[in-house]
Each structure stands twice: as C-alpha cells, then as structure tokens.
Amino acid sequence: MRRPAVPAADALIGVKRPLLSHGFVVLVDYMGDDAAVVQAARVSYGAGTRTVRDDRGLIRYLLRHGHTTPFEMVELKFLIRLPIYIARQWIRHRTASVNEYSARYSIVPDEYELPAPGEVHRQSARNRQGRGEPLDLAVGESFRADVDRISQEAYQAYQRALSQGVARETARMLLPVSFYTQWYWKVNLHNLFHFLSLRLDPHAQEEIRRYAAVVAELARTVAPTCFEAFEEFQLTAVHFSARELRAIRALLEGQDPTAACGAAGLALLREDGTPLRTGEGPEFLEKLSRVRGVP
C-alpha cells in the first residue's frame, strides 16, 4: 500500500514560515489526506456509501453532524519556534504530542520578542484576559524600552551564571517569557480543528492568531476538502444555546432584540440598570450582529 501524498503539501515540507521577530512554523511531515478521512468513514458506513454521496459530500456530512473520528486519521507534524509566553497558551491544548527544546541540556539563544511600535495596547474593559485599544505611542515606547532593557540584562545575568558554573536548569530561571523556545508539535486533524477554532477567534491573543493562521494554511494544503468543511461548519458558524433559540423565536414573532432577550432570560442590564458588557445577553447580541453581517 502506498503512502498518500499531496504534491502541494509535499512542496511545503521543510519550508520555514517566519513569524514575529525570531519565530517560525515549519511543516515537517503529514500522514493522510482527504481520502484518508473518507476511507476511515466508509469502514463504518459500509460498502454502499459511495453510491449515496461523493467524497466531498461525505466529509461535509461527517463534520456537520459531529462524526469526528475519521478526521483523526490525518496527522500533521510541525516544528514551531515561538516566544515562551505564547508557548504557555499553546500547551494548554493537551491533545497533541509535544517535544520541546530543553534549556536543561542546551543554552538558550539570545532571542526575545519585542512588540512592534504601535502594538502595545491597554487592557480590555470587556475581556479580562485580552487587550483593548492602542495606548499612547509614548507609553508604548516606554514599555518596549523596558522589555528590551530587562531582556538584555536578564540574558547577561544568565550568561554570567553559566560562566560561574550554575547548572543550566537553574540558570534559566533568570530568563523572562519574552525569550523563545521551540518544539515539535504533532496533532491529528480533529484536534487541530479544535485548536484553530479557539486560536483563530478574534478574542485570542494577536500573536498566537498569527501562528494559527500559518498552521491553518498548511492544514488546508494537506486536506483542502476537510478544511473547507471545517471553515463552514465550525470556524465561521454561529451556534445558539437553548435560551438564544427562544430569543430568536421571539425575534421572528416581531419582538425587538431587547424584548426578545428579556423573554428568553438573557440579561442585558445589571441590577442597578447599567448595561452589561459581558455575559450571555451581550454575547447573543454579538452573534446577531454576525448573522446580520455587521462588523
């Protein structure tokens, strides 16, 4: 039996895709393609399935109805270099095989991330873990100067500790999360789609979204039909809860959004009458904006 091959993906293997100051994503290898998903599904569906729907239709059916096991038959392996503060977010996805560069065995390179001018933002008023509007350029430049100075001083202290005989596993304590690490990251297509659903979302941190966009582009090359279905049924889809469906019914009956939210028990106001910025009610209105095509 021959290994499935996608010529467009083969041409990308080993090609370094630069990101941020010193980062990159490389497609190291892959196993399987769109046909592998179809093949796995037809083991379950039986020999007669082919006469019912074509491969694309079957893939779309599987993803549309949450039959995700066949997508686990496709795997992708990446080499990724990224700042430690992004790596700590990335590693929360515990459904991949990871082997990271070891600062116990090797000396950490003098490479750290410095945000570009104008990319330093204030804390979001709505999202406790996200950024809001850009800060004044003077404040941003002051922050960038601090990152640059602290990173340089930390690396000098790290080198000094190494020269004095401090073990590498201990000396690395001196380095901030702006420094870079790298790892091999192997993941199946089902779990990759979950990763991309979260990390391509506008609420995700900008830097990890950039990495996710490159990973998505490579995954699309390996399994384009699967990726097309993922985009339509997961990435750009809008999902509604039971309460939200009650509100939609009220909207269809002619109620305005505020009344519909009230009828469905989706709060829009605090007890003191001030508007809520977060919660089920405001999130439902955001979904309605997406349905209407309002940015």
As a whole-number percent, the residues of the chain with pLDDT over 90 amount to 81
Task: Give CA separation, 91 vs 17, 131, 138, 159, 239, in Å.
Answer: 20, 21, 34, 27, 26
The pLDDT, as a whole number, for residue 46 is 56
Entry pTM: 0.90
pLDDT of amino acid 169: 96
Indicate if the pLDDT at residue 36 is higher than 80: yes
Q: Which two tokens stand for residue 20?
A: 């941020």
64-73, 274-283, 285-294 — which is least confidently predicted?
A: 285-294
3-class secondary structure per residue, the chain: CCCCCCHHHHCCECCEEEECCCEEEEEEEEECCHHHHHHHHHHHHCHHHHHCCCHHHHHHHHHHCCCCHHHHHCEEEEEEEEEHHHHHHHCCCCCCEEEECCCCCCCCCCCECCCCCCCCEEECCCCCCCEEEECCHHHHHHHHHHHHHHHHHHHHHHHHHHHCCCCHHHHHHHCCCCEEEEEEEEEEHHHHHHHHHHHCCCCCCHHHHHHHHHHHHHHHHHCHHHHHHHHHHHHCCCCCCHHHHHHHHHHHCCCCHHHHHHHHCCCCECCCCCECCCCHHHHHHHHHHHHHCCC
Reported as a single tens digit per residue, the pLDDT across 88-108 is: 999 999 999 999 999 999 999
Q: Which of 118-127, 139-148, 171-180, 281-290 has the lowest mean pLDDT?
A: 118-127
Give the mean model confidence (pLDDT) for residues 66-73. Answer: 95
The amino acid present at 118, given as its one-letter code, is G
Point out the catalytic residue in the list 17, 60, 81, 199. Answer: 199
Each residue's pLDDT tens digit, 237-277: 999 999 999 999 999 999 999 999 999 999 999 989 999 98
Mean pLDDT of the chain: 92
Give yes or no: 3 in active site. Answer: no
Q: What is the mean pLDDT of residues 45-67?
A: 76
Identify the bridge partners of residue 77 per DSSP, sorted by sequence position: 29, 186
Given a cut of 90, whether residue 85 has pLDDT beyond it is yes
pLDDT at 121: 86
Residue 49: band (very low, low, confident or very high) from pLDDT cuts 50, 70, 90: very low
